[in-house]
Structure 1
Amino acid sequence: MSTLSRLRKIFDISSRFRASVSLGDAMENRIPDLISVKDPQLGMRIFLSAAMNMDSFRGRESRRLLVEMLVDNNWFELYWETLEQLKNRKILVLPEAFTDLMLGYEKLGRIEKVVETFGRMSQFDRSPDVVAYNCVIRVLSKKELFLLVLAVYNHMLKSNCCPDVYTFGILLDGFCKSGRFKEALETFDEMAERNIEPNKITYTIILYGLCQQKKLDEAYRLFNIMKEKGCAPDLISYDVLLNGFCKLGRFHEAFALLQLLERDGYGIGIHGYSSVIHGLFRIRRYNEAYSWYAKMFKEGIMADVVLYTILIRGLSEEGRVGEAVKLLDEMSQRGLVPDACCYNAIIKGLCDIGLLDRARSLQLEISEHDQFPNARTYTILICGMCRTGLVGKAHQIFNEMEKLKCLPTVVTFNALIDGLCKTGKLEEAQLMFYKMEIGRNPSLFLRLTQGIDRVVDVDSLQRKVEQMCQKGQFLKAYKLLVQLADSGVVPNIYTYNILINGFCKAGNINGALMLFKDLQLKGLSPDSFTYGTLIDGLYRADREEDGLKMFGYMSKQGCEPSLSVYKALMTWLCRKRNVSLAFNLWLEYLKNLFGCNDDAINALEEYFNKGEMEKAIRGLLELDFKFGNFTLAPYTILLIGLCQQKRVHEALIVFNVLDEYNININPPSCSHLIKGLCLKGELDEAVYVFLYALDKGFMLLPKTCKFLLRHLLSQDKTAVALDLVGRMKSFGFDVDRYLRYITKSLLPDYSEGQATEVGSFNSLNNSAAV
């Protein structure tokens, strides 16, 4: 449609004309003629001047045509000039005039101009209405500038402009897609507080967020609430919930939902089939996945790029890269263009099976396409190289990536930093971290971290953005955040964890603690891995008291210690001969478990303190089995700790109770127990534990075997020693390796000539490794 046709159509659909100033009948009658002149710009000026206050100008169709004219003819400057003329003539400009400008800029992807238009409304004595706020919030959300989104939203509330259901839909969508589910749920609750009824879209967004958090039961409850309130779910709502069930392998609920979907009059679409096939691939039920794939084709539904990517990724992860490549060819034959995700899946599959050269060749091959490779392609290769110790090659690929202006992501940096740490190149890792943080605009970084209003963390940056918005400096706030995003890659908690672990392993605990302080100043929250690494590092540095303080600080900060943290702390406490504290620590862990009874825990503590080890261990096992929380680690840690504390009889009780419950005790526990029993002179029990290890197929270390044989021979138990040697041989032990210090004279019946060194009993005593 031509520009003149559009202008005429806008006037045709105008039911009546109301100008804020009287233009006279003659002028009103001449407008269509003026629009028809050869200069459409003149017509546009006249139209805007006269039509700003038409009732019908606010109609959706009229405004759509206006936005099309703006975009097609690039009349934005003309539009602004006309608005300035209206302002000079004291003619009130409607908020819709600015909203249409914003929509036009948004269509062209000129986000900065959208924000600028929003900010300039105050120059025309107009306050943004809910539509204008929604427009700017939407474009900022798409750019993931959530600090500015929140600042604009707060400005909206302070301006007494009430958000509508569309406002909340934009906020919820942005929060959920960026993984900020806590803020999403808070925003959803705020809707109820404002008496704004959620619609189908907002319900579906929250369903998506809950499914992403693996809160499927809550999602299903919300799904039912949605139906009870008369908001009928559509196919998208069903697909979101179905995808959630399939991702977690809950196919019983997934198939029940499919039946419900069909009963409500919907057919299973491509998204539904993709979710089921993807879920089956995740749990390696390949035959069922292919059955659904065949069923889909029978229904006349053709696979799209997303489904092919799922199939290619599933096969590649299983190491069946050849079959994945065949599917790639099939895609092309069907007229589908593979995207970066398809190629990345195959490149990752090649890296996973060690074919790094082939992966690199494929990456170079697809580099001929403009859209390939992307940052993820390079990141996959860098991860693969670093896993195999080829950090130098990984660094080369990283440099190549920068030359091609393919910007590294936080995952790229993390992979390279981790590789450098694991190869002991801690200084290079730290330099890479600084490069990541400062990026391509070090002056901006330094400017923001100095002065009175310096930005040191997310909270201070949020305050700065809020202040700018309250002053109407929306464009300035936008430019600041875009500069920050472009200046470097923000390190996440995983980045800090890699470096902290590297420093701890290198024995530089002070450097690790400085990083710990730095990450908190940046507004990041340490996780269980952070604390666990530091606790382990402090104990390695013989700072036991500081390790316990760190554990206490962790709890105060509301970070729930994971099982691995408890295991690490218990191990160190046992090494420090503090078995009682280790036991009490495990009881504390059990107290935090849902449903654990404090009285039962207190009874176990009393048993342990009284030395009634058997009752204590049996009680622990009963609790573990009751709550389905059994893990062997705490028991073996306690067993080894008791041996180290020379409480061997109590350790043997732990061993016997575990054996009674048919729980396999691991080789290190057996070795410590054998050594402890030998030192106590309890050789029969030591032999019993050794035979237990043989029966379980454990290949105990040579030093453990030598230690036991030496003590047997020193107590004139040669026959028992010979019997053990025979059993070891029958179980596949390399007897020469295990008996190099055992001589024929000491084992006269061992006559196969396999003991190679001859010596006296004293030399055996002096040489045997313990």
Structure 2
Amino acid sequence: MNLLPPMLRPISYFTPKPPWRRCFNTCSEATVTANEVLTILETVNHMESALEPVVPKLSSEIVSYVIREQTNPRLVFRFFIWATKRMRLCSRMSQSSVIDMLVRDDAFELYWRTLEQLRDCGLPIGSAAFAVLINGYAKLDMAEKAVETFGRMKDFNCKPNAFAYNAILYVMVRKELFLLALAVYNQMLKSNHSPSRNTYDILMNGFCKTRQTQDALQMFDEMTQRGIAPNTITYTIVVSGLCQAKRTHEAYTLVEMMKASGCPPDLITYNALLDGYCKSGSIGEAYALLRSFERDGYVLGLNGYTCLIHGLFIAGRFDEAHGWYSKMIKKGIKPDIVLCTIIIRGLSDAGRVKDALNFLNEMNERGLVPDAYCYNAVIKGFCDLGLLDEARSLHLDISKLDCFPNACTYTILICGMCKNGLVGEAQQIFNEMEKLGCVPSVVTFNALIDGLCKASKLEEAHLLFYKMEIGRNPSLFLRLSQGSNRITDSASLQTKVEQLCELGLILKAYKLLTQLADSGVTPDIITYNILINGFCKAGNINGAFKLFKNMQLKGLSPDSITYGTLIDGLQRVDREEDAFVVFDQMVKNGCMPSSAVYKSLMTWSCRRKKISLAFSLWLKYLSNLPLREEEKIKAIEEDFKEGKTEKAIRGLLEMDVNFKDFDLVPCTILLIGLCQVRRVHEALRIFSVLDEYKVIVTPPSCVHLINGLCKEGNLDLAIGVFRYTLEKGFMLMPEICNQLLKCLLRSQDKKDHALDLISRMRSFGYDLDFYLHQTTKFLLECHMN
């Protein structure tokens, strides 16, 4: 017998038909029995022990032959299941082949029968036999069947190994059932199965794709603490997750760490980092990265060009995007459907819908068939410009194509109609959608409810909200909140899931979690926020609070927007004390108030002439931000209380400049508030400091300043502010323009200034026939005469 190493043996070594191959060739669907299979397997066993040096090669040859040449699927499955107990016989190639057979021939039932027959014959069954089943169900998106398979392994006296755990974790992560995935992962650890690098890759990839970056980083740390070295795939997953979370500098540091650890980045890593910088608007840094990548041997391909062009469209640098696209075409790189969609969406978002439509039509000439994303981008572009007839026309054109229009198309149209005040038409489209069997998404419902609220059709909005709730299965909360083992929050739900997994009831845990999101369209926090806002704006604060409580009973936690909406609603009905009670409750419940909440409180405080309170509220917000020095904040507050407004505002601006997160809104609120309480000179100091720091003061601020200065008779300063608006390109409303001009024309020594301003207004593009009131025209004629 030839005992040469496999690499030195001629290929013809395996061409003669050995006994095991002749035996398989005589088998048929009708004649093969379990005993005959056992005889064949014993022959292979004998050959395995006799040919120890060539077993790996021979084993692979046997499995490949059986799967490739046997027309008897039962025999194939029997042999494969037997081989799973001998890992050298069960290669990745053979597993992949069996998965293909299962999916292609819908042979799952036959496979299960085979498993049961071999179990009844007393043959041990390996974990890999179930792993292929799980992967087969996953390929057909039959997650429940995959989970059921994992749960049934104990019926065959088979304990899951790392491969089976990884297979089921992939299914759970794909379905975003992270609570269940982590419970199974903990079960894996308790059963003394060490997680592999692939285990962590699956979990981290799932976390990153759902923007749970911090959880992914914790997994990364746990993996390295267990002594598992990350490879290029692992690093790339985390780099991509950090970039999606706009933590690009951390992603860059990780890539540098890769290089230092001797794990070179590949094209996918480079593209992920390049895409992160482009999407975050750091185009200059993206170009610098590209140059450094090229020094490492990176060649810009289709994916790289796609990242750059997408980033340039986001940044509004259309000419550069077009330049890179032309460069790509010259290099002979053909665009794919992803890049075409990016270009179409970029042009549409920029208002260049006709160019987007032309590009869409040109796609067919390039042999590319536009998909729903392409058409929806153009329809959205038309809707954004208010060209609703064109949007509807394109919608009707694509309705003749298969799978068009989809739920997203209808949602875009409904949003467009509501945005332009055509709520009735939006309702017609919604009804049309349901008649065609196109299931509305939560976004669709939210768009229409928002439109109805803005149109003051609150009752119809509320009815639509109830329709959302009725259309789903009974709430998990309502079903499980009875009895001693009640589930009231995420912590108790996690405990329940872990208990079920400990008992091996994985399928029950899976169903428990999927029922929570089952049904299609469950009102989410955005839905509640829209409706609460509608009630608040209608002055029905009691209705808003009823929804607020109902939302919490359904297991949804209010967010900063919910609290902010209620606070604003209470202020509208002059319940200031209650508004601050809700604010305190928000903080107590661990919901950090956003800057929008503080700005709302500031605005209402200013309207009630409580300027100091407004200023201290903003300083309170700043003190909660990281790295802010409390002593500096206190000093700024003292300056403001002592009337040193200019010094206080300068201190604020210097702090913002240091942290590169300047926000003009608080200064605007304070400026307008000071004008409202007739402290115009203090407001003017804010204006001067902002101008000194090259910060453009908003038109409303200028209007309040001009109004206040006119009332005080400081016309020279009012003229200065008005000229500022002309320099910055602002076109103010007629009322304020006429107020200033009338004051100037009635003044003995300022009439010529009025003529100068009118001349400047005319050259700037003001339509004076429209802008000037009759009184102003009369005073002007008197001055001219």
Q: Deviations over 1:108-132 (max 9, x none)?
A: 4433322211111111222211111
8 Å contact kept, 1:367–1:373: yes
Q: Deviations over 1:4-26 (max 9, x none)?
A: 99x959989xxxxxxxx999989
Which range is displaced more, 134-143 or 37-46? Answer: 37-46
Residue 759 of structure 1 corresponds to none
Which range is displaced more, 233-242 or 363-372? Answer: 363-372
Distance 2:426 2:455 in 1: 13
Residue 150 of structure 2 corresponds to 118
Residue 196 of structure 2 corresponds to 164
Tell me, yes or no, if structure 1 residue 198 matches structure 2 residue 230. Answer: yes
Distance 2:693 2:300 in 1: 49
Residue 437 of structure 2 corresponds to 405
Distance 2:474 2:383 in 1: 35
Residue 472 of structure 1 corresponds to 504
Q: Deviations over 1:339-370 (max 9, x none)?
A: 11111111112222222222222222222332
Residue 151 of structure 1 corresponds to 183
Instruction: Select 1:695's aligned residue among 713, 723, 744.
Output: 723
Distance 2:156 2:184 in 1: 19
8 Å contact kept, 1:709–1:721: no
Residue 525 of structure 2 corresponds to 493
Tell me, yes or no, if structure 1 residue 347 matches structure 2 residue 379. Answer: yes
Tell me, yes or no, if structure 1 residue 509 matches structure 2 residue 537. Answer: no
8 Å contact kept, 2:130–2:149: yes
Residue 319 of structure 2 corresponds to 287
| 1:134 to partner: Cα distance | 0.9
8 Å contact kept, 1:569–1:582: yes
Residue 268 of structure 2 corresponds to 236
Tell me, yes or no, if structure 1 residue 719 matches structure 2 residue 751. Answer: no
Which range is displaced more, 291-300 or 669-678? Answer: 669-678
8 Å contact kept, 1:642–1:651: yes
Letter aligned with residue 150 of structure 1: L
Q: Cα gap change, 1:93/1:288 in structure 2, threshold over 3 Å: closer, same or farther?
A: same
Instruction: Select 2:563's aligned residue among 504, 512, 531.
Output: 531
8 Å contact kept, 2:734–2:771: no
Structure 2 residue matching 1:162: 3-state secondary structure: coil
Q: Cα gap change, 1:750/1:58 in structure 2, threshold over 3 Å: closer, same or farther?
A: same
8 Å contact kept, 2:607–2:676: yes
| 1:215 to partner: Cα distance | 0.7
8 Å contact kept, 2:341–2:374: yes
Q: Deviations over 1:202-229 (max 9, x none)?
A: 2111111111111110000001111111
Tell me, yes or no, if structure 1 residue 131 matches structure 2 residue 131. Answer: no
Distance 1:555 1:49 in 2: 58
Q: Deviations over 1:721-757 (max 9, x none)?
A: 866766676556979997778999xx8993779xxxx
Q: Cα gap change, 1:701/1:569 in structure 2, threshold over 3 Å: closer, same or farther?
A: farther
Which range is displaced more, 41-50 or 401-410? Answer: 41-50
Letter aligned with residue 136 of structure 1: I
Residue 276 of structure 1 corresponds to 308
Structure 1 residue matching 2:439: 3-state secondary structure: coil
Residue 282 of structure 2 corresponds to 250
8 Å contact kept, 1:607–1:613: yes
Structure 2 residue matching 1:297: 3-state secondary structure: helix
Q: Cα gap change, 1:203/1:438 in structure 2, threshold over 3 Å: closer, same or farther?
A: farther
Distance 2:115 2:261 in 1: 46
Q: Cα gap change, 1:327/1:10 in structure 2, threshold over 3 Å: closer, same or farther?
A: farther
8 Å contact kept, 2:275–2:307: yes
Letter aligned with residue 244 of structure 1: G
Structure 1 residue matching 2:782: 3-state secondary structure: coil
Residue 105 of structure 1 corresponds to 137
Tell me, yes or no, if structure 1 residue 311 matches structure 2 residue 343. Answer: yes
Which range is displaced more, 170-179 or 186-195? Answer: 186-195
* Aligned residues between the structures: 729
Tell me, yes or no, if structure 1 residue 430 matches structure 2 residue 462. Answer: yes
8 Å contact kept, 1:56–1:62: no
Residue 756 of structure 1 corresponds to none
> Could you tell me the percent identity over the aligned residues?
55
Q: Cα gap change, 1:623/1:446 in structure 2, threshold over 3 Å: closer, same or farther?
A: closer
8 Å contact kept, 1:438–1:487: no
| 1:626 to partner: Cα distance | 5.2
Structure 1 residue matching 2:89: 3-state secondary structure: helix
Structure 2 residue matching 1:607: 3-state secondary structure: helix
Distance 2:707 2:408 in 1: 52
Distance 1:293 1:725 in 2: 53
Q: Cα gap change, 1:543/1:25 in structure 2, threshold over 3 Å: closer, same or farther?
A: closer
Which range is displaced more, 648-657 or 179-188? Answer: 648-657
What stretches of structure 1 of length at least 5 have no aligned partner? 13-20, 754-770
8 Å contact kept, 1:520–1:526: yes
Distance 2:317 2:104 in 1: 52
| 1:571 to partner: Cα distance | 1.9
| 1:166 to partner: Cα distance | 0.7
Q: Cα gap change, 1:726/1:70 in structure 2, threshold over 3 Å: closer, same or farther?
A: closer
Distance 2:697 2:483 in 1: 61
8 Å contact kept, 1:203–1:226: yes
Distance 1:591 1:26 in 2: 77
Q: Cα gap change, 1:356/1:195 in structure 2, threshold over 3 Å: closer, same or farther?
A: same
Which range is displaced more, 314-323 or 698-707? Answer: 698-707
Distance 1:46 1:566 in 2: 68
Q: Deviations over 1:542-598 (max 9, x none)?
A: 222222233344444554444433332122112222222222223334444565443
Letter aligned with residue 719 of structure 1: Q
| 1:253 to partner: Cα distance | 2.9
Residue 405 of structure 2 corresponds to 373
Distance 2:611 2:70 in 1: 95
8 Å contact kept, 1:459–1:523: no
Which range is displaced more, 458-467 or 580-589? Answer: 458-467
Letter aligned with residue 119 of structure 1: G
Letter aligned with residue 692 of structure 1: G
Structure 2 residue matching 1:196: 3-state secondary structure: coil
8 Å contact kept, 1:239–1:271: yes
Distance 1:48 1:659 in 2: 78
| 1:627 to partner: Cα distance | 4.9
Residue 85 of structure 1 corresponds to 117
Structure 2 residue matching 1:487: 3-state secondary structure: coil
Instruction: Select 1:40's aligned residue among 63, 67, 72.
Output: 72
What stretches of structure 2 of length at least 5 have no aligned partner? 1-16, 26-34, 46-61
Letter aligned with residue 321 of structure 1: V
Q: Deviations over 1:465-485 (max 9, x none)?
A: 333333322223334444544
Which range is displaced more, 85-94 or 127-136? Answer: 85-94
Structure 2 residue matching 1:529: 3-state secondary structure: helix
- Give the superposed CA RMSD: 4.1
Alignment of 1:556-705 (within 5 A): 556-592=588-624, 596-624=628-656, 627-628=659-660, 630-645=662-677, 647=679, 650-651=682-683, 654=686, 683=713, 685=714, 687-696=715-724, 697=726, 699=732, 702=735
Q: Cα gap change, 1:84/1:263 in structure 2, threshold over 3 Å: closer, same or farther?
A: same
| 1:442 to partner: Cα distance | 4.2
